[in-house]
Chains A and B, each alone.
Chain A
Amino acid sequence: GENVEQHPSTLSVQEGDSAVIKCTYSDSASNYFPWYKQELGKRPQLIIDIRSNVGEKKDQRIAVTLNKTAKHFSLHITETQPEDSAVYFCAASMYDYKLSFGAGTTVTVRA
């Protein structure tokens, strides 16, 4: 089955700086890559996703890049704010609605 690895496990950034989280996946058939943000005690919320026919996608301060050849994808958050502090999960699937998640990255934005 699909194996998703996520790095780093924790990330501390100064407010206003950028944060980058990287994930690799094992199954070249995976073609859908969502990112979820989970605040303490809350549900995972989709923040951005990308499909395999696209190399990059941006939504305001958040962007995701995908390298199919290397089988890795990354989340970029620019101009970080305190409300960006949360656990971020990457995931991969093959259009079969079975999401394989990474272990998560705890992001702390220092004021």
Chain B
Amino acid sequence: EDKVVQSPLSLVVHEGDTVTLNCSYEVTNFRSLLWYKQEKKAPTFLFMLTSSGIEKKSGRLSSILDKKELFSILNITATQTGDSAVYLCAVASSEKETSGSRLTFGEGTQLTVNP
């Protein structure tokens, strides 16, 4: 059974702090790892990582994948109150590269950034 585990489940920081969110996985037919941000409704897509060691960056957010040790981290620097959300890690798997993937999600990390 595919499994994705995120830690911590909850985190409270002050504005300006740097946070690291963790995601480990056990998945057959791994294709990619994705990070989403969920505020109230729809999860919004942040990153997709397919190769080890290549850091993806978008402003203050960055993420890296280790396919040997089966984990990923999401870093957020200089946090702002608008970063408060649930951050979801998901792993995509599929038997064939040409077919679509199914996602297995972790429980999410609830991040609260206080002013």
Q: Do A and B bind each other?
A: no
